[in-house]
Amino acid sequence: MADPEGMNRLLAFGVRNVPVVSRGKEYVFGQVLADVARLAGVKPPGQAGLTPAQMVERWQFVLTAAQRFVRQLPTDYMEERAIANRDRSVRYMAFHVFRIGEAFLEVTQGEEMTVERPNVAPGDHLQTGDQIAVYGDDIIKRITAWWGSVADPSCEGKVPTYYGMQPMRDVLERCTWHSAQHVRQLMAILERLNIAPDTPVTDKDLAGLPMPKGVWE
């Protein structure tokens, strides 16, 4: 969006989705930091210090916070852009925080984590923050139920994603911090509207997750 030639360079690799990191004629998908490190010629990062159990707990905390924040969003603001240079509404982002969780649950049932899976648009029945928060409540309960019945609590088994077979632990971590990043953005939107977020999420609350430094990165 910021570079008119960006899509042309992406298509030259035969790729249509981001993030992609390239070096000369070689590229890797940016979701796997070990692959990025290999391409850059640096030491791969170690895993975050959180266990899958801790990540599930952190994710539930993040999604519960998201429920508070989406309920604070004015209904007449829901179709405004969340960020000026991207065609994504506030309503879409509010829904997306929880849809990431539903996409993960589908992967635990054998579906592939495709680009499209977490990026579907909210249905017409989800127009207000309250309605989206109720949808979020269902996702939180389903994540809790999945974790309570998971056969391998180490989550080392691999699942299919559009960037290759990945340990479920890594997909769980990615989904957790993905929701957390959008929660940071929801707080920023509320602050833009001069609405104080109800019990803000802090950096300390997200410690142990590989969070981007910037809110809109």
Q: State yes or no: pLDDT of 137 exceeds 80.
A: yes
| Residue 64: both structure tokens together | 């519960």
User: Same domain, yes or no, for 16 and 72?
Assistant: no
State whether 67 and 23 are in the same domain. Answer: no
Q: Are residues 60 and 33 in the same domain?
A: no
Q: How many domains does the chain have?
A: 2
Q: Is residue 216 part of a domain?
A: no
Please tell me whether the peptide bond between 19 and the residue prior to it is cis, using omega within 30 degrees of 0: yes
Domain range for 14: 6-40
Q: 29 with 67, same domain?
A: no
pTM of this structure: 0.87
The reply to whether 29 and 97 lie within a common domain is no
Residues 187 and 131 in one domain: yes
Give residue 24's pLDDT band: very low, low, confident or very high (50, 70, 90): confident
- How many Cβ atoms are within 10 Å of 23's Cβ, its own excluded? 11
Looking at the structure, do residues 111 and 172 belong to the same domain, yes or no? yes
Nearest to 193 by CA among 77, 66, 27, 107: 77
Q: Are residues 58 and 157 in the same domain?
A: yes
Q: Locate all alpha helices (DSSP H) within 85-128, ordered by sequence.
A: 90-108
**pLDDT computed for residue 90 by the predictor:** 98
Sign of CA dihedral 147, 150, 156, 160: negative
Query: Which two three-digit tokens encode residue 29?
Result: 């998908």
How much of the chain, in percent, has pLDDT values that exceed 70?
94
